[in-house]
Amino acid sequence: MLIMALNQTCVNVVVPDIRRDYGATQGQAGWVVTGYLIVVAVTIPLYGRVADLYSPRRTFAFGLFILAAGSLACALAPSLPLLVVGRLLQAAGASAIPALGFASVVRAMPPGRRGTAIGLLSSSLGVGAAVGPVLGGFVAGLAG
């Protein structure tokens, strides 16, 4: 959950750098963030259904694979459109984390301990959202 939140928020502070490096308008560069959020909103519910049809473990592994492929695409993107496609892939993969993370906790934990486990998962989203922009700014300042 922490990784998903970090991935979602660390890019926000570097949008001006992305805009400058790719020679994009503000609206074009905004798709790096907006596209990610749209795909996450659409695919989180789909992962639940796919996990019902196939195994949750395979579905989660597939999501992590797509997240890794999207991250690699972003790292190697020579143009803004390819960066946006990489971010869309990241989002499609990262959506497996909350969709299947909460469901896995419910299945694995006894009823009396589920609340604590779900609370820990939920709090990691807040930590990731708070640390993401700091980490993104640090990496951008360090690596350019």
- Domain assignment present for 103: yes
Q: Is residue 21 part of a domain?
A: no
Q: Is 131 buried (19+), middle (13-18) or exposed (0-12) by CB count in 10 A?
A: middle
Under the banding of pLDDT at 50, 70 and 90, the label for residue 102 is: confident
Q: Is residue 139 part of a domain?
A: no
Contact by Cβ (8 Å): 80, 18: yes
pLDDT more than 90, % of the chain: 62
Is the residue at 80 inside a domain? yes
Alpha-carbon distance 16 to 26, whole Å? 8
Confidence band, pLDDT 50/70/90 cuts, at residue 104: confident
How many independent structural domains does the chain possess?
Answer: 1
- Is 42 among the domain residues? yes
Instruction: Identify the domain containing residue 120 by its residue range.
Output: 2-6+28-130
- Distance from C-alpha of 87 to C-alpha of 138, rounded to nearest angstrom: 20
CB within 8 Å of 10: residues ≥ 6 apart: 132, 133, 135, 136, 139
Does residue 109 form part of some domain? yes
Q: Considering the chain, what is the average pLDDT of its residues?
A: 91
Residue 98 lies in a domain: yes
More confident residue, 13 or 144: 13
Q: Which residue has the higher pLDDT, 107 or 95?
A: 95
19: in domain: no
